[in-house]
Amino acid sequence: MSRPARRPWFLAVLAALAVGVMLAASGTASGASLRACAPATYPGDGYFLRLTATRNVSCAAARRLSKDHYRCRIRHGKAGRCTRVDGYRCRETRRVRISTELDATVRCTRGTRVVVNTFQQFL
């Protein structure tokens, strides 16, 4: 007597569930619920274009962090970089530089706290 064929659809459903669980876990861990904040006034020659923060970071703290990140960058030159500010680890996720300006998006994290800042600086 032959053995019944395995049901490949059952394995596909299990794989889809496993992927869904992993995506849900990574979405909550990365602080997926960002809210928009009014950007601070740029201390130098340029603009803060957009500022977002997770619910556990106040907009005032996000504005303060963006200004402190600016000051840290400027200490390393007009187009400098800064990786640690106010206990946050900051990483540029996008950086475009031409001869007259620098456009960048910076993501700063501290545990579950996330602040994302987009700026334009004239060089």
pTM: 0.71
What is the three-class DSSP state of 35? Answer: strand
52 in a domain, yes or no? Answer: yes
CB atoms within 10 A of CB 6: 8
pLDDT at 23: 37
2 in a domain, yes or no? Answer: no
User: Residue 108 in contact with residue 114, Cβ under 8 Å?
Assistant: yes
112 in a domain, yes or no? Answer: yes
Question: Is a pLDDT exceeding 80 seen at residue 104?
Answer: yes
Which band of pLDDT confidence, cut at 50, 70 and 90, is reported for residue 25?
Answer: very low
91 in a domain, yes or no? Answer: yes
pLDDT at 44: 84
pLDDT at 3: 61
Residue 73 buriedness (CB in 10 A; 0-12 / 13-18 / 19+): buried
Cα separation of the two ends of the chain: 80
73 in a domain, yes or no? Answer: yes
Domain that holds residue 69: 34-122
105 in a domain, yes or no? Answer: yes
User: Residue 90 in contact with residue 82, Cβ under 8 Å?
Assistant: yes
In the chain, the percentage of residues whose pLDDT exceeds 70 is 74
Of 92 and 13, the structure prediction assigns the larger pLDDT to: 92
In the chain, the percentage of residues whose pLDDT exceeds 90 is 66
Question: Is a pLDDT exceeding 90 seen at residue 10?
Answer: no
Domain total for the chain?
A: 1
What are the pLDDT digits (tens) for 28-84?
444 458 899 999 999 988 999 999 999 999 999 999 999 999 999 999 988 899 999
109 in a domain, yes or no? Answer: yes
DSSP 54-104: ETTS-HHHHHHHHHHHHHHHHHT-TT---SEETTEEEEEEEEEE-SSEEEE
